[in-house]
Every structure is written in structure tokens, then in C-alpha cells.
């Protein structure tokens, strides 16, 4: 992409990586010095004719001073099977790939191999939680630890391939979670790539009749400043230091708390339901006539809500349980909310004042609610943002 935001014409990555057959897909480590890519095995000569080997495997190359060299086959390629779709971890120590080698659970399965002291370990199948009797292909390991892949066997009620993700918990992969619209469609959807913040990326889809690469970008605005939400405490104990001893058989103290509540006591505990201005009075009442003998004290109490986005949800929830997250108790003063945006700190975000969400891994999550607000004053529209966060615990 150039400075104007347009994509330039593709250029060959390296002449050293080009053969007369197929080269790709590929994956590179974060340092940019190790490339793993798919390639057809060497052509074979039959008489005077060179025939392509239909099988393919993984190959590695090193970037030395800007040049790709030292091209070598992955040591666990199988000549009579296909090994493809590499995805390197950022440090280049773990390699995920797809293969139809013997011993799997279906057609193509997902495998991984670890680099130990410069050697790649024997590939291990990711197991039946991830792999199905159909094709499970195009793994992609995100920096968060999520493993994305495309499957023709997981929940493909709409037909074709869909994109899923899984993550390890207690060294086991959780049941794959299907991505929703706009990623999965009624057609085949394949490999996907996200940036570190899950805000933009690319994926491949046949939704328009041909396999094309699509880019995507989150439409949710960013909230740079986010403060821990406060709970307004409108509960008080009312008392007067100047009260005197009275004959309780003849007189009693009565608090009028200004919201329709009265309490007959020297001290009164009370919680106001909402903000407002309240006229607080302490009177001395004649027990027999119920009349006010005299006023002991009187003053105005002003209660104002904290201007903030406010998250209403349980403090503790269980995994894989749909929970409602509600922002309707937010208070904005003279501002009008335009839109609500949620960030669940697990890679998932959602718009709306009230949304539902479930978590698949136990732990502590920082839930954020951002609100875009509008203020109309003197015919001038002013846009502001508020963001609050609340920590919750997800348990098994």
C-alpha cells in the first residue's frame, strides 16, 4: 500500500523462490528472516518429457542481507502426501500446517512441529477437537495465541468452508468457535489474518463466485482514555449534633428526607433512588397531636450522578454462558448518546447499548464500554467520547 492508500501492482518476492510449478502459500516470522512456504516437489523426467510431481511439501528459506537463500525442504515432508498451509509463530519456534498424511482424523488435518535446537520435531496432530473427517486447513496463529483455521467439517450447515478459531486452555484446545458475519458467508471462506489489536486484516472468500482476497477494518471508534467506572453511593446517615434530650413520651424527632420518606428517630439511614435536589428537615413532633412543635434543622441536599458510561453485568460468570451486558444505566448530563461500543478484551467487540457475549476461557477480563455522545448547543454540534471499564472474573 502506498502513501495515498492504494495498492501497488504485485512484485515477485524473490527470483530465488520461483520455480516452474506452484510456490505458496507462505508464512514469515516476526523478524522477517525465516520464510516457510509450500512448493510442488521437484519435477521428474519420464523419457524426454519432464512431468510435474502433483504432491507438495513445505520448504524453508533464510533472509540474509535482504536476499532469500538457503532454500531447504521441511524435514517431515512425505513424498506420497501433501504438506501445506504453513503458519509460523512470531518467534519462529512453532510451525502449524495442514496435511493429508496417514494417521489423521479426516482428509486434511492440522498439525504442528516445534523447533528444538535447530531441528523440527516430529509433527503432532492437533486432535479430534479441531480435526474432523472433512478438510481442516489454512491454520493461522495470531499473536494472542488464537489459532484460526478453515474447516469443511465444523458446523457447516450453510455449506462449504467456514473460518473458526480455538485457543489452548490447560494445554488443551477448546472447541472451535465459528466467526460470524461478515467473515463467514454461504460460500467458501478460507484463511484469515488479523493485526495485533483485532482491528483490521485480510481473508480469502469465494462469496462473489471466485476466490478473492478481501481486506476488513473495524468500524468501532477508538477510545484512548478509559476510566474505571464508579458506583454512585446515594446512601446516608442523617444526624444533628445540636439535638437535645427530649421527653420521648411527649415528643419525638422526625426526619423528612424530601423524597416522600420520613423516619422517626434521632438518626436516620436512607438511600435515595436517584439524583436530585432534596429538602431535608428535622422536626420535633408532639406525640399526641402529631403537630410540629419546632424545626430543629433544615437544609438542601443536591445529589448528582457521575457522568460516565456504566456497565451493568455480573461480577463473576461461567465459561460458555451467554451473559447480557447493559449500558442503559449510563449517565451523560446534557449530552445525548449516539452509539455504544463494547470491548470484551478477548478479541471480540460489539456495538449496541445492550449486547450478549460468552467467554470460552476462564480468567480475569477487562470489559470496556465506550460511548460516542452529541451535544447540541447554540446550533453547534459537539461530539465527545466517554469510556469506562469494569473487571469481571470468568470461572469454569
Copy the grid coordinates of residue 47: 523419457
Burial class for 253, CB neighbours closer than 10 Å (0-12, 13-18, 19+):
buried
Summarize pLDDT for 43-65 with one digit per residue, the tens.
666 677 766 677 899 999 999 99
Domains of the chain: 15-217 (2.120.10.30), 235-303 (2.60.40.10), 316-395 (2.60.40.10)
Sign of the alpha-carbon torsion through 117, 123, 124, 129: positive
- For residue 364, the Cα-to-chain-centroid distance in whole angstroms is 13
Q: Is the pLDDT of residue 378 over 60?
A: no
Summarize pLDDT for 169-225 with one digit per residue, the tens.
888 999 999 988 889 988 999 999 999 888 899 999 999 989 999 999 988 888 888
pLDDT-above-90 percentage for the chain: 70
Contacts of residue 270, Cβ cutoff 8 Å, sequence gap at least 6: 235, 236, 238, 255, 257, 261, 263
Q: What is the mean pLDDT of residues 307-313?
A: 95
pTM over 0.85? The answer is: no
* Phi–psi pair at 186, nearest 5 degrees: -80, -10
Q: What is the pLDDT of residue 381?
A: 64
Q: What is the pLDDT of residue 246?
A: 81
Q: What is the pLDDT of residue 157?
A: 63
Instruction: Give how far Cα 116 sits from Cα of 38, 92, 127, 169, 320, Å.
Output: 22, 11, 22, 23, 36
Summarize pLDDT for 331-341 with one digit per residue, the tens.
998 888 999 99
What's the full length of the chain, in residues?
396
* Mean predicted lDDT score pLDDT of the chain: 91
| Strand-strand pairing, 34-40 and 23-28 | antiparallel
Q: What is the pLDDT of residue 48?
A: 72
Least confident of 111-115, 234-238, 249-253: 249-253
Whole-number Å distance between alpha carbons of 212 and 187:
12
Q: What is the mean pLDDT of residues 113-139?
A: 96
Copy the grid coordinates of residue 25: 502459500
Q: What angle do CA 208, 211, 214 make, to 5 degrees?
A: 75
Q: Is the pLDDT of residue 158 over 80?
A: no
Confidence bin at 290 (pLDDT 50/70/90): confident
Q: What is the mean pLDDT of residues 248-257?
A: 90
Q: What is the pLDDT of residue 71?
A: 95
Q: What is the mean pLDDT of residues 276-300?
A: 92
Amino acid at each position: 500500500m502506498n502513501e495515498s492508500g492504494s495498492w501497488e501492482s504485485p512484485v515477485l518476492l524473490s527470483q530465488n523462490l520461483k520455480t516452474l510449478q506452484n510456490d505458496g502459500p507462505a508464512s514469515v516470522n516476526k523478524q522477517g528472516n525465516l520464510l516457510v512456504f509450500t512448493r510442488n516437489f521437484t519435477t521428474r523426467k519420464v523419457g524426454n518429457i519432464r512431468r510435474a510431481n502433483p504432491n507438495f511439501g513445505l520448504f524453508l528459506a533464510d533472509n540474509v542481507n535482504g536476499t532469500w537463500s538457503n532454500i531447504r525442504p521441511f524435514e517431515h515432508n512425505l513424498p506420497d502426501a501433501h504438506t501445506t498451509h504453513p503458519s509460523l509463530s512470531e518467534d519462529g519456534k512453532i510451525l502449524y500446517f495442514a496435511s493429508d498424511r496417514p494417521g489423521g482424523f479426516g482428509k486434511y488435518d492440522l498439525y504442528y512441529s516445534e523447533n528444538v535446537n535447530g531441528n523440527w520435531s516430529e509433527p503432532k496432530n492437533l486432535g479430534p477437537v479441531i480435526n474432523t473427517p472433512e478438510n481442516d486447513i489454512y491454520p493461522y496463529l495470531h499473536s494472542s495465541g488464537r489459532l484460526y483455521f478453515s474447516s469443511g467439517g465444523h458446523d457447516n450447515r450453510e455449506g462449504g468452508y467456514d473460518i473458526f478459531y480455538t485457543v489452548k486452555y490447560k494445554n488443551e484446545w477448546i472447541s472451535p468457535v465459528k466467526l460470524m458475519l461478515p467473515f463467514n458467508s454461504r460460500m467458501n471462506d478460507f484463511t484469515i489474518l488479523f493485526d495485533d489489536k483485532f482491528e483490521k486484516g485480510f481473508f480469502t472468500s469465494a462469496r462473489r463466485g471466485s476466490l478473492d482476497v478481501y481486506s476488513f477494518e473495524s468500524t468501532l471508534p477508538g477510545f484512548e482514555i478509559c476510566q474505571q467506572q464508579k458506583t454512585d453511593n446515594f446512601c446516608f446517615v442523617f444526624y444533628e449534633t445540636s439535638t437535645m434530650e427530649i421527653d420521648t413520651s411527649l415528643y419525638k424527632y422526625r426526619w423528612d428526607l424530601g423524597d416522600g420518606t420520613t423516619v422517626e428517630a434521632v438518626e436516620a439511614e436512607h438511600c435515595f433512588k436517584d439524583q436530585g435536589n432534596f429538602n431535608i428537615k428535622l422536626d420535633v413532633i408532639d406525640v399526641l397531636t402529631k403537630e410540629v412543635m419546632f424545626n430543629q434543622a433544615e437544609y438542601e441536599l443536591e445529589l448528582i450522578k457521575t457522568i460516565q458510561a456504566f456497565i451493568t453485568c455480573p461480577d463473576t460468570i461461567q465459561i460458555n454462558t451467554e451473559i447480557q451486558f447493559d449500558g442503559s444505566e449510563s449517565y451523560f448530563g446534557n449530552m445525548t448518546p449516539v452509539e455504544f461500543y463494547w470491548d470484551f478484551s478477548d478479541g471480540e467487540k460489539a456495538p449496541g447499548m445492550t449486547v450478549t457475549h460468552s467467554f470460552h476461557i476462564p480468567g480475569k477480563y477487562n470489559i470496556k464500554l465506550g460511548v460516542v455522545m452529541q451535544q447540541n448547543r447554540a446550533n453547534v454540534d459537539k461530539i465527545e467520547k466517554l469510556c469506562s471499564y469494569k473487571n469481571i472474573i470468568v470461572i469454569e
